[in-house]
Amino acid sequence: MKTFILAVMALSILTALGCQNTNGQDTKRKLSKPAAEWKKTLTSNQYHIMVESGTEPPYQNEYWKNHKKGIYVSAATGDTLFTSDDKFDSGTGWPSFVKPVDPKKVAIVTDNSYGMSRDEVIEKSTGLHLGHVFDDGPADRGGKRYCMNSGALKFIKKP
């Protein structure tokens, strides 16, 4: 039983780090406007996630279990980034997608936080943090998992 509890704790820590970043310290991105300007237009949670490259807790965010049909737009710009047709349950506790609607709307930059190298997903037009992309998505749908923060997105339900 002790081994099982330790394994669950280790898995929880690794899962929490799966989409996390450390305030953008190791990323190579430039914001389209100063952080002070973003602070005026974003909520405190959106600012923490998108400007400071924060993350939200797994299984405790708005869209991880959203199964409604619609689109996911940037919380900062309103640009369409993902669609419910490309969303899947990754078991990580964050909304996960196999691809963006338009690959030209996002950019991938290297994130070397936590002593590991990951691919950070940013909104190309703004430089704002959205989440990370991993190579453990559904193989039959391209093999990618775009692990996004709900706080970086807004959901628009399909009529």
| Positions marked active-site | 147
Decide if 14 contacts 47 (C-beta within 8 A).
no
CA distances from 61 to 2, 34, 36, 55 (A): 30, 27, 25, 10
Decide if 19 contacts 131 (C-beta within 8 A).
yes
Rounded distance, CA 139 to CA 99, Å? 12
What b-and-e string marks burial along 97-113, b requiring 16 or more CB atoms within 10 Å of the CB? bbbbbeeebbeebebeb
DSSP string, 96-122: EESS-S-GGGEEEEEE-GGGS-EEEEE
